[in-house]
Every structure is written in structure tokens, then in C-alpha cells.
Amino acid sequence: MDSEINVLALVKGEERFMFMFDDHNRDETLRTLARFAADPDLDFSWYDAAMLSRKIRDAVPAPQPVAHTTRIDASLRGRD
């Protein structure tokens, strides 16, 4: 298995946040950052979530959708 595991850590005071993710759970990890930021019991801000989200997006870019092109025959252009 050639799956690369990324580790991202944040230390704030006595709290330590560690996230392990790969290509397959990238989006789930991003959602977890948002849940942590919304949790008033954690010392994890929306700023923390934004900074870590940027690092995750840089490490594992989102898959690009495949562009479909359609060739229009020149003889059909301008016809209704």
C-alpha cells in the first residue's frame, strides 16, 4: 500500500491537537476542524481551523473534476 499519511499538529497551552489524514479522508478532516472550532469547550478557534485547513489543502489538493468537451461540427453552427 503506497498511501501517504500526513500528520498535522497544533499545541495551544495545555491542549494538543493532532490530525492524521491521507487523500481519502481529506474532506472528513476539514469537517473535523470546523467541528472543533465550533466547540466552546475546546481552545480551538476558527483562525486555527482556517490555518490548518490551508495546510491540509496544500498537502492534499482536492481532486479536479474531469472536463468534458464537446466538438461542434462546423456545418451545424448557426442552425436553430
Express each pLDDT in 30-69 by its tens digit.
999 999 999 999 999 999 999 999 999 988 777 666 666 6
Is the model's pLDDT at 3 over the cut of 90?
no
Surface-to-core class of residue 33, CB atoms within 10 Å of its CB (0-12 exposed, 13-18 middle, 19+ buried):
buried
Tell me the pLDDT of the chain averaged across its residues.
Answer: 84
The Cα–Cα gap between 67 and 31 comes to 27
> Is the pLDDT at 19 greater than 70, yes or no?
yes
- Kindly compute the dihedral angle of the four CA atoms of residues 33, 39, 45, 47, in this order, to the nearest 10 degrees: 40
pTM above 0.85, yes or no: no
Which residues make beta-bridge pairs with 14? Answer: none
| Between 69 and 18, the higher pLDDT residue | 18
**Residue 8 main-chain phi, psi, to 5 deg:** -130, 130
What pLDDT does residue 23 have? Answer: 85
